[in-house]
Structure 1
Amino acid sequence: MEDAMVLLQTGKRLASAAFRRESICRSDDSFSLPTTITTSDISSAATTPPSTPPRNPTSLSEFQNISHLLSHIKFLLRRRTAAIAALDAGLYSEAIRHFSKIVDGRRLAPQGFLAECYMHRASAYKASGRIAESISDCNKTLALDPTCIQALDTRASLLETIRCLPDCLHDLEHLKLLYNSILRDRKLPGPVWKRHNVRYREIPGKLCALTTKIQQLKQRVASGETANVDYYALIGLRRGCSRSELERAHLLLCLRHKPDKATNFIDSCEFADERDVDSVKDRAKMSALLLYRLLQKGYSSVMSTIMDEEAAEKRRKKATVQVPQTQNSSSNLDPESTLAYSVNSSNASDCDGRVNPSENETTTSSTNAFQGVFCRDLAAVGNLLSQVGFNHPLPMKYEALSC
């Protein structure tokens, strides 16, 4: 009964604590911009003295929502500034942590702002050597903004790093089309205020370099380099890793980049046009599926390599165990043959069971043959001597029994 009361009190305490947390965070997380706010309300509220109550009772809550929105915008900008500063300083784990706070938050953020944060986090992942995570963030950036030049360039360089040349060529061809459209329209894609990592006057030179690079990659593909993908770098493992390390890394990557979870980031994105949601989901699902298939191929390839190495190690251990056994069997063969030869010779000479002086001399001369047997099997030697009826003491040295 006392245990039941303790459990009940503990449950009530946990429930009340959860309710307090929810009530505290509700005003910050569930705000929305009012749709009925007008400039007349703002001007009337600004000109009304503090002692006079507001004419519209809802104006106070509307202003609170606006203040919450402004504070949220300031918070996002401060967080992004800190993340970019950490990225420029080479603190990649700190930059990843700040950008993850932004993109994984419960509050909504604009589409372009999230695309920029995903792109910066992809750069941090690339600098820290986490290729799969960097490709995933590039996929999300391109799902939100298909004309992002930096995302296409970064993903193409990552795919070239792991020698996945067909997918790299696909991204470079897409980037070439984007450069051609920029030269045709004589302006960078998107609105004027949108920031890019490239200037318009740099596009012709980049297009020439890109064309040359595409030709080189096509020659490499024609020479048969498509099957030499570095799956170790993709998964983030060292060569010669164990089976447990591979399974752990593969499990973490599958849980993180599963195609079913590819569109979860859209829930924290605020779109200017709701008609863009379906196209963003389609692009995110397609790119996530391609990455997931590449990870599965990498797992199969690395696992087959590990199994071959384990089989070779077993064969090598078996060979090292068999060599000493063969040497021991060959070394034990000579004493046994000597013992058999001595037994046969003694039985053949004493078949009638009688002993004469000449035979005693022969037996005395053959004691040297038996001295080597004393050290190995004294019982066999005694049996042989009793069979021939030899009762005289044998002259022997002490060293004969000290083996």
Structure 2
Amino acid sequence: MNARSHAPSLLAALAAALIASTVHAQAPTPTPPPAPGEFESCMNSLRAPARAVGVSDATFTQHRQGLQPDMSVIDKLNFQPEFRTAIWDYLAGLVDDQRVAEGQALLAQHADTLRRVQERYGVDPATVVAVWGVESNFGQTFGKSPLVQSLGTLSCFGRRQAYFRTEFYATLRILQAGHITADRLVGSWAGAFGHTQFMPSTFERLAVDFDGDGRADLMDSTPDALASTANFLAKAGWQSGQPWGFEVKLPQGLNTSGEGRRTKRTMDDWAARGVKRVDGSALPPSGSAGLLTPAGPQGPAFLVLRNFDAIYSYNAAESYGLAIAHLADRLRGGGPFVTPWPTDDPGLSRAERREVQTLLIARGHDIGEVDGMLGEKSRVAIRAEQQRLGQEASGRAGQKLLKALRGG
């Protein structure tokens, strides 16, 4: 993992998992409860190591009292579905018109705070708000797992116990310092929390008190969360006033093998190879960039600069970095990518996914709540409708399925 060292952001993970197509592993048998006294014995063994890293006995005792393991987090740790999520599906759910409109409204609402954040950390408002949107849907989706319980469980059972113990101790120090109360310290099953989903150890390194109340609070203080995000990006090497990159047009036949985010070439080199900005204009006269072709050379292509690497460090996935970068551009008034994705069945926005679910219910399918999350019940219904319609029964919902369902 990179600097944040945790599983993909809550919304990004949902976007990947819940719009996935045909291939997915079967969920394992639920993890059985631990043997009597096993969790208590493990917790007792963690007291001395916690003390050695700054957790007082009083703090440990307070938050250990009554703590019971949540073995469902072990199921989540062990369940690694082999989803095949096309980049056009992933981005369609994370960067849609609804999120752009909400983000632009929040840019205006928090303009003064964002201006001061930019003055201190050098990161522009649109990028900070884009992270906020992708990480927690602007504070609407935090996760519901109590961090002490989930990280305590992961510290005693399953894989990567040493890593999760570090995060468990950091959680206890956060509570000990009074930044956030235990009842408010909830997040993803793996421990990420707050408006922009920091892991506890990242919180300790990079969270800031921007509203001046003496506490760094990523749960209930939007100024603290926005400033902490900018601080993260600044520490990751953000270059003020520079773009993350831009879409380009590749010449026919350009060999893109071996190219990527890390393979930086000078702009002169790219220009000599016939690469131009997508509007046909020349590349910048200086600097270096890597070539990103997330769907191959026939799809949208991008030259990415140092600021893309800073975004990538927030969550080590190029698709995630592209979602943040593209949402930031859209918040500034930019449009969709010029080059279409190489598919005849583009992805669905969140509103369109909700429409698919509504149409499935109208056809008698029991899929649960209409929430835009195309989970297993929705995929079962989608497969049934695809069979009825003579389409490939992939379980993936795209524009072809939506149009067919609209037509009856």
**TM-score over 0.5 for the pair:** no
**TM category, shorter:** under 0.3
Work out which structure has the larger RCO, using CA pairs closer than 8 Å and 6 or more positions apart in sequence: 2
Could you say which structure has the higher helix fraction? 1
When normalised by structure 2's length, the TM-score is 0.22
